[in-house]
Amino acid sequence: MTFMSSIWRAGIALPVATSALFVQPAQAQSANGQASANINQSVTVVKNADLEFGTFVPGTVRSVFRLNPNNGNLNQRNGDAVAIGGAPAPASFTATGTPLLRVRITSGQNRIFIVRDGGTETMRVNRFRFDGPRNRFLNAAGEATYRVGGQIRVRPNQAPGTYRGAFNVTIDYF
């Protein structure tokens, strides 16, 4: 029976082996894919208002004043200088771009020095603060407005005059 069993197995194996020689490849199938990209308009930034600390009478020691970007209040942190008016107000910037996208504001400087017109005397402005989170979404019209406050240091016996300087902000998508 062993001999018959081997013949029987060989008889089955032979057709399987020969049919493998005549197997036709499966027909190739293809499909198309799509490629896409979104292009957002660039963010533009417009300055609406400058950062204005107001008018001071210097004291005998260094004095520090902080302008709140949320409400425009000027608060004296220390020293004996006196704020005597003017129109303290935060700076204001409006970003315009693709509606509902997320933007971020950053300030390139931690501090700047403003210089007296016609002179070399300086005052330090630092601790720039925003009126809310740095990261915001542009509204349905594609706009977001940021207000920026900061801190100013009035030196003892600071020379009288108008002091000016510039700071920058960057607003971009992220």
**Residue 102 CB partners (closer than 8 Å, separation 6+):** 135, 136, 137, 138, 173, 174
pLDDT exceeds 90 at position 7: no
At which residue do the structure tokens 């007296």 appear?
Answer: 116
CATH architecture of 44-173: Sandwich (2.60)
pLDDT exceeds 50 at position 4: no
pLDDT exceeds 80 at position 113: yes
pLDDT in tens, 19-65: 555 566 678 888 989 998 888 788 999 999 999 999 999 999 999 99
Strand partners, 152: 65, 125
How far apart CA 52 and CA 13 sit, in angstroms, is: 96
Higher pLDDT, 1 or 91: 91
Chain-centroid distance of CA 20 in Å reads 65
Domain ranges of the chain: 44-173
Q: What is the DSSP string of 120-168?
A: --EEEEEEEEESS-SEEE--TTSEEEEEEEEEEEEPTTPPPS-EE----
